[in-house]
Chain A
Amino acid sequence: MEIKLNGKKVKANEGEYILDVAQRENIYIPTLCDHPAVKPTGACRMCLVEAGVEGRKKKIVTSCAFHVKQGLEVNTDTPTIKEARKVVMDLLLARAPNSESLKEMAQKLDMETVSTFEPVENAGDCILCGLCTRVCDEVVGANAISFNSRGADMDVGGPLLDVPQDCIGCGACAYVCPTDCIGLKDDGEKRYLEKWDRELPLMKCRECGWPFMPAFQAIKFNESTKVPKDFFKLCPDCRN
């Protein structure tokens, strides 16, 4: 099918989201809570665009979660959109004043990299985008962390904000976190995830002795990936 992106006709495929097409066409849409490994959620609200089928009134939608359809016209940088994104970014910067990626994104949006609001107390640079919880659920299947409470009190962590006992220490959360606020540290024979206050022993490679993977992760991944039983006994280097 064909859609119009900022006035230009482009090809799009059934089932794609607006954001997918824009990224392929090198049209910049800022986004924080989207990741190809998980389903879209539309939480951060940075990827807003104006979209509508030709001839009908355009609506403001999140491009990460809006499917393309024949005749769709999308504008990614109208003054309304730009202004809304700036307000959203300003609010997020107050949660994550130390995040380099947010500052970079703010620069691209042509705005200050310091929030006009005072920092949110105890936010710890987390913008509550939910990528960590979704990847833990949808990809890893551990479901160790989730959102707690609601509204302005919302936070993310283990059940009742206690240490997540189901965390296998795989580090997928830290890998996808857009503000790098989880704090994964491998220290000798232990792995520590600072945000969750979770410490796990690392299993050593049978060949070279490198402590490369938490045992819980090996068990879980063995189950879910159906690799040979001994697969995780070796570190990635010794496997080849």
Chain B
Amino acid sequence: MVKVNSPKALEEIIQKKKKESGKEGTYISICGGTGCIASGGNGVLEAFQEVIADDPDVKLVRTGCHGFCERGPLVVIQPQGILYQKVKPGDAADIYEKTIKNGEIIKKHLYRDQKKQAYEKEADVPFYKFQKRIVFKMNGHIDPEKIDDYLAMDGYSALSKVLTSMKPDQIIDTVIKSGLRGRGGGGFPAGIKWKSTKAATGDKKYVLCNADEGDPGAFMDRSIMEGNPHSVIEGMLIGAYAIGSDEGYIYIRNEYPLAIKRLKVALEQAREYGFLGKNILGTDFSFDIKINRGGGAFVCGESTALMLSIEGKVGRPRTKYIHTADSGLWDKPTNLNNVETWANIPHIFNKGVDWFTSIGTGDVSEHPWGGSKGTKIFSLVGKVNNTGLVEVPFGITLRDIIFKIGGGIKNSKKGRKFKAVQTGGPSGGCIPEKHLDEPVDFDGLTKMGSMMGSGGMIVMDDHTCLVEVARYFVDFLKDESCGKCTPCREGLRRMSQILNRIVVGEGKEGDIELLEKLASAMEISSLCALGQTAAYPVLSTIKYFREEYERHIKDGYCDGKQCTELIRYNIDEDACTGCSICAKKCPTKAISGELKKTYRIDQSECVRCGVCFNVCNFNAVEILSGSEIKEKMGE
């Protein structure tokens, strides 16, 4: 590979790669993200490779994640943008013959919404239609293991622009003016961080990328690295140049093997072209990036713990009275940003501050805290029809995300309704229906008692017990706390004990107040953000659903009908048609009866898994709790 040793050479190679890419003609984009690979994407790719082997006019692109993982493996026929979902290897020949050669749409592969309406084009599918894809834009188009694909889409041109026409201070000023705030959780303005690190005394400075994505259910950073690793590298290069750093690290969790592999390939290819290494694009600027794999501790996503972990020490946060911008990795000035933050940087320099600030909320012309600009990727999961990664502009309402993009609540025909949405990962809060029409941004979510966090978004229906949700997250954090400081370690231990007794019906009078007291002490006295925010799931559920806690404690009643110790499954004899499906599906054989008559559940054998409830087509299985059990079952 030839070294690209000047901005002019880069421009030439970009033009050359554009011509070579063949993207003007027909190409088949096959999702090669972790989700689609898990559902058989590699087999689909191989089948298409075989089918088009003799057709030089059709190209195949194995891309990164498209976001709609639930419907994978995904295949998009370009340039028309036809989306086929849940494609199997056996479908490849058919798709090639009908769609590619004859332009015929195969209806059975199309996405259909809840009203059974089919959509031909990816861009029209509601899941995509209401998104605004900037960071994810290239994900469906480029092969992440081919730097040429990235170059063909003007890759590294932002780097070239800043190296040739901007001074470090101008770059930092641009990032500050863009209002870009950290996408990893804190929401701290990226430009201000860069400025502090640049101003810090010291010759050696580090630029780090936090890819230790640990929130349960969140995988946007993984998908960026798997789908477009060069955007992260380019972002880090621009940051390093502005800050004055020659060495960077990407701290990535070891549970992301595909992302690690693609990052390694990307780094190698960037080095071959000379985008990393000495005298980048013929300038005095030198920079290179190493990958550091994390061992799986959630707390290592915290900045100081992350840095200690890179140093080879135990990842336990330290007090941050001396900022990491002044003394971070190996006590040198260090700038740490999250994957999604870095991936935003090239776009800001390619398209300008005015473009970036036109997206989002608030006014950042005075200072970057004035609003939330750009887009945010959320991982929309839980009880919604369409789950996956969604990139939306700040300011969109929760309702639009859940009902337009997410397609509403799952099983709404069976009567399921929206109850709450949990945002911000394990330390986030649960937001009830009354806030659904409020705009989503950093400050808005905080006001609602939750937070942006890394962008996890778990939708819950009325069959969700919020006390159980709080218990789940507290137990998660209890195990993931580093254990260093008293309030976090011991506070979570006690909260876990209290919540675990409430969900089995052994809660005591005063438990709610005790939870509140512990929560408030943890918030103000814990050492790091993990402990300071650990109580948010508890506080927000108490704030909005206090009566559910009270009913658990006083009446042994679970509103979500989820706490197994407090519920009984019962078959309503009048509604039961004796179809026997529940008896057939019951894993413990607790259901007996006679065909076409009625069935009964033997409570001593029932493990309350809920299978009978889910399979019954006649709504004959009811879930009872609290006094209902006595009333209906005489127990």
**With contact pairs A42-B485, A45-B525, A87-B487 given, residues A65 and B321 touching in the complex (Cβ less than 8 Å):** yes
Contacts A42-B319, A88-B525 given; does A151 touch B486 at CB 8 Å: no
Instruction: Kindly name the residue among B321, B482, B487 whose own CB sees the greatest number of chain A CB atoms within 10 A.
Output: B321
The stretch from B24-32, B489-497, B614-622 touching chain A is B489-497
Chain A contributes a number of interface residues (CB within 8 A of B) equal to: 36
How long is the Cα–Cα vector from A34 to B348 in the complex, in angstroms?
A: 47
Partner of A152, one of B484, B493, B521, B527: B493
Which DSSP category, helix, strand, loop or mixed, fits chain B's interface?
Answer: helix
Tell me whether B443 is interfacial, beta carbon within 8 Å: no
A32 to chain B, nearest CB (A): 9
Task: Identify which of residues 271-294 in chain B touch chain A, using a CB-to-CB cut-off of 8 Å.
Answer: none
Shortest Cβ distance from B528 into A: residue: A42
Nearest A residue to B317 via CB reads A42
Identify which of residues 111-169 in chain A touch chain B, using a CB-to-CB cut-off of 8 Å. Answer: 117, 120, 127-128, 130, 146-147, 149-154
- Contact A151-B518, Cβ < 8 Å, known A42-B319, A65-B321: no
In the complex, which of the residues A42, A46, A61, A130 has the most CB atoms of chain B within 10 Å of its own CB atom? A42
In this complex, the member of B299, B322, B524 whose beta carbon has the largest number of chain A beta carbons within 10 angstroms is B524
Enumerate chain A residues within 8 angstroms of B316, measured Cβ to Cβ: 147
Interface flags, B458-501, vs A, CB<8A=1, else 0: 00000000000000000001111111111101111110100000
B314 near A151 (CB under 8 angstroms)?
Answer: no
Asked whether, in the complex, the Cβ of A151 is within 8 Å of the Cβ of B489, the reply is yes
> Does A83 reach chain B (CB closer than 8 Å)?
yes
* Residue A29 is within 8 A (CB to CB) of chain B in the complex: no
Asked if B521 contacts A88 (CB within 8 A), the reply is yes
> In the docked arrangement, what's the CA distance between A149 and B299, Å?
13
Contacts of B483 in A (CB 8 A): 128, 147, 149-154
Our pick among B479, B525, B527 for the contact of A151 (Cβ within 8 Å) is B479
| A128 cross-chain contacts in B, Cβ below 8 A | 483, 486, 489
Q: How far is the CA of A46 from the CA of B496 in the complex (A)?
A: 22
Question: In A146-202, which residues have CB < 8 Å from any B CB?
Answer: 146-147, 149-154
The reply to whether the CB of B526 lies closer than 8 angstroms to some CB of chain A is yes
Cβ A147 vs Cβ B314 within 8 A: yes
B517 is an interface residue with CB less than 8 A from chain A: yes
A87 to B494, CA, bound (A): 11
Per the CB 8 Å criterion, the residue count for chain B at the interface is 34
User: Whose C-beta in chain A lies nearest to the C-beta of B480?
Assistant: A151
- Whether B527 pairs with A84 at a CB distance below 8 angstroms is no
Interface string of A26-61 (1 = CB under 8 A from B): 000000000000001111111010000000000011
Closest A residue to B479 by beta carbon equals A151
Q: How far is the CA of A43 from the CA of B545 in the complex (A)?
A: 33
Known: A88-B486, A152-B492. A42 touches B527 (CB 8 A): yes
Contact A43 B484 (CB under 8 A): yes
A19 at the interface (CB under 8 A from B): no
Interface residues of B in 373-410 (CB under 8 A from A): none
The answer on a CB contact under 8 Å between A48 and B485 is no
List of A residues within 8 angstroms of B490 by Cβ: 91-92, 94-95, 120, 152
Contact of B491 among A91, A127, A146, A150 (CB under 8 A): A91
Binding site for B on A (CB under 8 A): 40-46, 48, 60-62, 65-67, 80, 83-84, 87-88, 91-92, 94-95, 117, 120, 127-128, 130, 146-147, 149-154
Q: List 30 A-B contacts (CB under 8 A).
A: A40-B319, A42-B318, A43-B485, A43-B486, A44-B486, A45-B527, A48-B525, A61-B319, A62-B527, A83-B521, A84-B525, A88-B487, A88-B521, A91-B486, A91-B491, A91-B494, A92-B486, A92-B490, A117-B494, A120-B490, A120-B493, A128-B483, A150-B482, A151-B478, A151-B492, A152-B478, A152-B483, A152-B490, A152-B496, A154-B489
Taking beta carbons and an 8 Å cutoff, which residues of B are in contact with A?
A: 297, 299, 314, 316, 318-319, 321-322, 477-487, 489-494, 496, 517-518, 520-521, 524-527
9 A-B pairs besides A151-B478, A153-B479 with CB distance below 8 A are A44-B485, A45-B487, A61-B319, A91-B494, A92-B486, A95-B490, A147-B314, A152-B483, A154-B482
